[in-house]
Amino acid sequence: MKKSIFLLLFVLSFTITLMAQGYKVGDKAQDFELMNIDGKTVSMADYPDAKGFIVIFTCNHCPYSVAYEGRKIALAKKFESLGYPVIAINPNDSTIVPQDSFSNMVKRAAEKDFPYPYLLDADQTVFQQYGATRTPHVFLLNKESSDLIVRYIGAIDNNYENAKKASEHYVEAAIEALLQGQNPDPEFTKAIGCSIKIKKS
């Protein structure tokens, strides 16, 4: 009996550690298949010509995410034609934050005319796999051979409050580096963000 409890605890702690890790720069990212605001599912495999992806965990309710909406739209417009489309994913559980429900995602996307897919991580597995902890949280993926390699993790730029006052444009600089065959520097940054709202089990 004692032994089995010990074993259970061991397995549990191991699982928790695995869940908490997520991707590091250099890791291979997995594709996903998530529902878009138009009711159709989206995978990265749907973009055979892409050189990579700007995957952004974001949501409706978080003011830090909202403050970056214009910048996300600008990134999508600038980099989709250069081979790096934006894919936005809402990881939040809407029973905790109703503003982040699927119907509110549809509404917000229409209001702001998002030029990128806005997907719902309904069973909250994708954000855990990637290791996103906050919104907004960017994972820049680069297609290398047939793999998607994580090349940058972090913030869009260095001023969440005022786009005009940002002096470092991390994601833009990272893509420019990749386009020139170099690795981004910095490859990892931190930012203040809203915690991801995880469904209570």
CB-CB contact of 27 with 149 (8 Å): yes
Instruction: State which residue, 32 or 170, has the beta carbon closest to other proteins.
Output: 170
Strands 34-36 vs 41-42: parallel, antiparallel or unpaired: antiparallel
By rule CB under 8 A, what count of residues binds other proteins?
Answer: 27
Tell whether residue 184 is a contact of other proteins (CB under 8 A).
no
Contact letters for other proteins, residues 143-172 (x by CB under 8 A): -----------xx--xxxxx--x-xx----
Q: Which of the residues 1 through 60 are near other proteins (CB under 8 A)?
A: none
Instruction: State which residue, 3 or 165, has the beta carbon closest to other proteins.
Output: 165
Instruction: State which residue, 77 or 190, has the beta carbon closest to other proteins.
Output: 190
3-state SS track over 144-162:
ECCEEEEEEEECCCCCCCC
Helix (H) or strand (E) segment spanning residue 86: strand 86-90
Q: In what order do the strands lie in the sheet with 41-42?
A: 41-42, 34-36, 118-120, 86-90, 52-57, 137-144, 147-154
Instruction: State which residue, 54 or 196, has the beta carbon closest to other proteins.
Output: 196
In the bound complex, what is the minimum distance in angstroms from residue 134's beta carbon to other proteins? 4
- Return the SS3 of 6: helix
Binding site for other proteins (CB under 8 A): 61-63, 67, 96-97, 133-134, 154-155, 158-162, 165, 167-168, 189-197
